[in-house]
Amino acid sequence: MGIHGWVWRAFVWFTVVMVAILSAHDARAEDTISPATKPASPDATYYVIPIKDEVAEGISDAFAKGLDAARAAKATHVLLVLDTPGGLVSEMHAMLELMAAAPEFHFVALVHNAGSAGAVLAMSCPDVVITPSGAMGAAAMVGLPRDEILRMKMESYNAAKVRAAVEAAGHEVLLARGMMEPGLEIVAITNPKGERRIVNAQEARKNAKAHGKNFKLADGASMKTLKEKGTLISLAPEEAVNLGVARGILQTSQRARSSDTTFPLDDIAPLIGLSSWKQVGTAEPMMRKFRTTIARENYLAEHKQELDQLDAKIKSLQQNANGLQSQINEQQAGIEQLPNSARPSAQARIGSLQDRLSETLGEINTLTKRRKEILAGPPKK
């Protein structure tokens, strides 16, 4: 029997057994497709913290300073502007902990691009808004150790951290898992009343088999495959809105290509259930400084081997130059002691040594210039 048959049977079984529960929790069922939002307030204010480029070592410290600045500005909301491919899981965990420890803020994510750790940060915000060219997802861990037990421990711990953050934000955990776990099969089942549930297809098949149920699909019900086994969920703007991950798409009159495009941040308010909100500050200067520091560290790391080779070569040439200069000094000091007939050949030897010294110093200057060029980088764009 195919996946559709088992999943439909599981759906009917759940409907029969849990009808009372589903009826009592209609509001909660809606939450699985519509993240919670804060009631509209005329006093709503927001502080912007941009997360751009890599989630690199040290970004959680910068993020903490941004939250401190938001507190000082008495912001009610923190707007995370995400344009990142992801990065270090440890830094993401630290940022999730900082968010959990800041209940005074209502976190909102504006997604330009949120890959990997960026997608988790987005889904840790109760409200998500996405740009017309935005995307989010593909959050599987990479670079894991080969040891199976150690890898399993790391994945399990990460899954627990993500699950806690996503649940606290009111999002569907299965969608977040679908971004991280290639082995999952996920479907969306809509019953005749229009109520939608996100279902783990493997668990549905297992439950149906365990209870030996052979129910037929209820009339008017439908199913959509959200994720096949061996894939990861990545959401385009319309998909994110349709699945309730994003509250809406933030439009702009410009041709939006990246976070460099100016978006009307005040226009986010109605998308998240606020009549209006006012910006009270931004961490962009501080985060830009952090990104510049990281870019320089990465640039120097990329050129470390060349720098080491240059340093070694310059040191060797300098030693040669010192030796040549010592020989020249000795030759020049003793030339007066030589008979006139021997002086021309001594002068020739000194000239040869001076030529070699000049050539060595020239090479040192060339290598030193290259070293300075590297240290002055990265090149400005």
Closest to 325 measured CA to CA, from 298, 358, 347, 373 = 358
Question: Residues 123-176: pLDDT tens digits?
Answer: 999 999 999 999 999 999 888 889 999 989 999 999 999 999 999 999 999 999
User: What confidence category does residue 23 fall into, taking pLDDT thresholds of 50, 70 and 90?
Assistant: very low
Q: What is the pLDDT of residue 17?
A: 33
Domain covering 32-182+232-283 assigned CATH 3.40.50.2300 in the classification: no
**Looking at residue 249, what is its pLDDT?**
96
What is the C-alpha separation between 266 and 268, in angstroms, rounded? 5
What confidence score (pLDDT) does residue 253 get?
A: 58
For the chain, domain boundaries: 32-182+232-283, 303-375
256: Cα within 13 Å, side-chain hemisphere:
20
% pLDDT > 70, the chain: 82
Least confident of 165-169, 261-265, 297-301: 261-265
- State the pLDDT confidence band at 379, using cuts at 50, 70 and 90: low
Kindly tell me if the per-residue pLDDT of 25 is higher than 90. Answer: no
Residue 315: predicted pLDDT: 96
Q: What is the pTM of this model?
A: 0.74
Task: Give yes or no for residue 303 having a pLDDT over 60.
Answer: yes
Residue by residue, what is the 3-state secondary structure of 277-325? CEEEEECHHHHHHHHHHHHHHHHHHHCHHHHHHHHHHHHHHHHHHHHHH
pLDDT computed for residue 313 by the predictor: 96
Q: pLDDT at residue 108 above 80? A: yes
Q: Calculate the average pLDDT of the chain.
A: 85
Return the pLDDT at 224: 87
Tokens standing for residue 146 = 């080969």
Hey, what are 315's tokens?
Answer: 């040191």
12 pLDDT higher than 70? no
Task: pLDDT band for 41, please (50, 70, 90 cuts).
Answer: low
Report which of 26, 25, 24, 16 is spatially closest to residue 218, judged by C-alpha positions. Answer: 16
**What's the rounded mean pLDDT across residues 66-79?**
97
Whether residue 92 is predicted with pLDDT greater than 70 in this model: the reply is yes
The tokens for 46 are: 């927001």
Q: What is the pLDDT of residue 38?
A: 47
- Is pLDDT of 378 > 90? no
Amino acid at 154: M
> 265: which DSSP letter?
G
CB 28 within 8 A of CB 253: no
Bigger pLDDT: 295 or 46?
Answer: 46
Share of the chain above pLDDT 90, in %: 63
The model's confidence at residue 255, banded by pLDDT at 50, 70 and 90, is: low
* pLDDT value, residue 6: 39
Mean pLDDT of 47-53: 95
The answer, yes or no, to whether residue 254 has pLDDT greater than 90, is: no
Which is higher by pLDDT, 362 or 218?
Answer: 362
